[in-house]
């Protein structure tokens, strides 16, 4: 008998993503109509966001002891000094990794959306349901610890749920992702670390990299934005000459120096408890490849 569990899971995620973005489109129209009514008439936010599947599992993950301990180990580790290409440093296990650190909580996770490969290639229509996908969830800390903040990154688990993918220095990802409002989507163009807000079919930049990505324009249509990213990346997708020559991790506009120097705590393969500290560029390279698959 043929195993169709993988197909069912894939179809379930596709339907979930379509439903999620369809809700955003519907809410966008509702939000525009509601401006003529009293402010108190705005609908109450659902405590379990409809745009994130298995959200309770994500909440359970960020509140778990394992994730908290991973964050504590990260905060105890020194920033790498050898540059983005430096040697990976293994962080030793400790019985009480959070002992002696200030008390902190990990905020509720928010969606980290990215542009889809089909949108970049020009094969997908310039519609929110086809242009944007949910890639990961991100959470930041309630306070700075030893002068540092951190972002907890969750990845979807095969078959449902969420698991810890990485912990990275800073909280910019969570800060930008949290700017999504009723009827809008926030997404990242990971190749340049550009953050954008999508209002119906209008794309607006949220940071300097995004403004550079739009050529200094205050906003563009989703259709025009597709033309920009297609020109930047369509010839660099997997299977292209650019990719086969080994340059798939390096395309895009020049990144800010602070992106290259940020640190990231990655789960080492083969061990659920082993943690390693690596340059943030390694995570960026991995996400770039994932974003074009």
Burial class (CB within 10 angstroms; exposed 0-12, middle 13-18, buried 19+) of 35: exposed
205: how many CB neighbours lie within 10 A of its CB? 21
Average pLDDT over residues 29-57: 54
pLDDT tens sequence across 205-242: 999 999 999 999 999 999 999 999 999 998 776 555 44
| Residue % of the chain over a pLDDT of 90 | 52
Burial class (CB within 10 angstroms; exposed 0-12, middle 13-18, buried 19+) of 193: buried
The reported pLDDT for the residue numbered 87 is 54
The reported pLDDT for the residue numbered 38 is 37
The residues facing 278 across adjacent strands are 264
Tokens representing residue 194 in the block = 């550009």
Sign of CA dihedral 124, 6, 56, 145: negative
Distance CA(65)–CA(82), nearest Å, equals 31
The answer to whether 171 touches 149, Cβ cutoff 8 Å, is yes
Among residues 133, 100, 93, 129, which one has the least CA distance to residue 117? 133
pLDDT tens sequence across 232-270: 998 776 555 444 454 444 333 333 434 434 566 654 333
pLDDT band at residue 93 using 50, 70 and 90 as cut-offs: low
* pLDDT surpassing 90 at residue 138: yes
pLDDT tens sequence across 48-85: 576 799 999 999 999 999 999 999 999 988 876 655 45
Distance CA(77)–CA(90), nearest Å, equals 10
| Residue % of the chain over a pLDDT of 70 | 59
**Chain centre distance of CA 66:** 21
Which of 25 and 147 is assigned the larger pLDDT? 147
pLDDT band at residue 92 using 50, 70 and 90 as cut-offs: low
Which range has highest mean pLDDT (5-19, 31-45, 69-83)? 69-83
The reported pLDDT for the residue numbered 225 is 98
Confidence (pTM): 0.70
Taking the chain, what is the end-to-end CA distance rounded to the nearest angstrom? 29
Distance CA(213)–CA(194), nearest Å, equals 7
Distance CA(279)–CA(250), nearest Å, equals 15
Average pLDDT over residues 5-21: 48
* pLDDT surpassing 80 at residue 160: yes
Average pLDDT over residues 102-126: 95
């Amino acid at each position: 008998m043929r195993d169709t569990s993988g197909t069912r899971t894939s179809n379930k995620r596709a339907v979930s993503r379509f439903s999620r973005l369809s809700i955003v489109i519907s809410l966008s129209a509702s939000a525009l109509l509601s401006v003529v009514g009293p402010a108190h008439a705005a609908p109450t936010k659902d405590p379990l966001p409809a745009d994130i599947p298995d959200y309770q599992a994500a909440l359970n993950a960020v509140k778990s002891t394992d994730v908290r301990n991973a964050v504590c180990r990260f905060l105890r580790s020194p920033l790498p000094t050898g540059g983005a290409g430096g040697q990976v440093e293994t962080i030793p296990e400790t019985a009480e990794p959070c002992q002696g650190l200030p008390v902190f909580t990990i905020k509720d996770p928010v969606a980290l959306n990215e542009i889809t490969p089909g949108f970049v290639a020009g094969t997908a229509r310039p519609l929110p349901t086809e242009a944007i996908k949910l890639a990961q969830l991100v959470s930041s800390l309630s306070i700075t610890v030893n002068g540092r903040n951190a972002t907890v990154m969750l990845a979807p688990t095969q078959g449902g749920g969420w698991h810890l993918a990485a912990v990275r220095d800073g909280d910019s990802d969570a800060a930008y992702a949290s700017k999504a409002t009723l009827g809008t989507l926030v997404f990242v163009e990971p190749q340049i670390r550009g953050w954008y807000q999508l209002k119906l079919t209008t794309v607006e930049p949220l940071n300097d990299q995004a403004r550079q990505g739009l050529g200094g324009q205050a906003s563009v249509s989703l259709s025009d934005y597709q033309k920009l990213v297609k020109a930047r990346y369509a010839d660099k997708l997997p299977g292209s000459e650019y990719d086969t020559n080994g340059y798939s991790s390096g395309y895009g506009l020049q990144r800010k120096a602070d992106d290259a120097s940020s640190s990231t705590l990655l789960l080492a393969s083969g061990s659920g408890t082993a943690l390693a500290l690596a340059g943030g560029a390694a995570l960026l390279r991995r996400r770039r490849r994932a974003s074009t698959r």
